[in-house]
Amino acid sequence: MPDSPNRSRKVAVITGSSRGLGAATAKRLARDGFFVVVNYAKSRKDGEAVLREVEQAGGKGALVQGDVSNLGGIRSFFDEVDAALKGQGLPASFDVLVANAGVLVSKTFAETTEADFDSLFDTNVKGVFFLIQNALPRLRDNGRIVTLSSGLSRFANPMFTAYSATKGAIDVMTRILAQELGVRGITVNAIAPGAIDTDMNAGWIHSEEGRAMLMSRQALKQVGVPQDIADAIAFLAGPDSRWITGQRIEASGGSSL
């Protein structure tokens, strides 16, 4: 007996998708036909709003709470993902993992504390490492993994030394995982955004000084929005990127060329 349309539907899991880049990605992948697992760490209200938009646009998804900055939280998260998928009549497996959850600390090297450093590396590196490790038994062959790097792993900004180091680690991890997982047909690529108009950047990007600085460094003279990154992630999550793996693809509007 052939699979029902529901059971054969492709599934994408997007961490940190209750706001910002993750929310835009969840909505875009839902439009592309994926069943999307929307993840929030603290604000269920924000996650519910994203899922509501997905469903109002004709898409389908599920909402799963999970703190993916530590191993216990990651294991619990995937238990909840399994249950949510089964509750929708879907297998406890998926086709795309977008490791989007991350934190940002903007401080000079001298001002960065041990707590800042640990918070950044726990979520942005350790969290991504063990998220992918725990996802692999559930990720189908010929699937896709998309990690989130940053333009700051290429160009230098002294306000983001520790954060930039976490994204440099993601670049290396992405390349090595692509080599390791190629035997299963799984592609692994990193998207590296530049400055994007999200809550995380609103404090400076909306100021006259901040916008002027951005425009002076960026080839494309407009401020990037979450949809710009979501569209790039959708390409890497889809069939047209089948021959691309192990790459860091920068989506920064040509920043600091």
| pLDDT tens-digit readout, 90-119 | 999 999 999 999 999 999 999 999 999 999
Q: How confident is the model at residue 208 (pLDDT cuts 50, 70, 90)?
A: confident
pLDDT at residue number 1: 30
- pLDDT of 140 above 90: yes
How many domains does the chain divide into?
1
pLDDT in tens, 144-158: 999 999 999 999 999
Mean pLDDT within 186-199: 92
Instruction: Note if 163 is an active site residue.
Output: yes
- Look at residue 1 and tell me if it is in a domain: no
CATH code at position 30:
3.40.50.720
pLDDT at residue number 5: 46
- pLDDT of 4 above 50: no
- Look at residue 68 and tell me if it is in a domain: yes
- Look at residue 4 and tell me if it is in a domain: no
pLDDT at residue number 213: 85
Q: Which residue range forms the structural domain that includes residue 221? A: 11-251
- pLDDT of 228 above 90: yes
DSSP state string for the chain: -PPPTTTTS-EEEETT-SSHHHHHHHHHHHHTT-EEEEEESS-HHHHHHHHHHHHHTT-EEEEEE--TTSHHHHHHHHHHHHHHHHHTT--S-EEEEEE-------B-TTT--HHHHHHHHIIIIIHHHHHHHHHTTTEEEEEEEEEE--GGGTS--TTBHHHHHHHHHHHHHHHHHHHHHGGGT-EEEEEEE-SB-STTTHHHHTSHHHHHHHHHHBSS-S-B-HHHHHHHHHHHHSGGGTT--S-EEEESSSBT-
pLDDT at residue number 3: 42
pLDDT at residue number 210: 77
pLDDT in tens, 12-25: 999 999 999 999 99
Q: Which of 28, 37, 163, 237 is catalytic?
A: 163
pTM for the complete prediction?
Answer: 0.93
pLDDT in tens, 32-56: 999 999 999 998 999 999 999 999 9
pLDDT at residue number 6: 53
pLDDT at residue number 181: 98
Mean pLDDT of the chain: 94
pLDDT at residue number 119: 97
pLDDT at residue number 8: 54
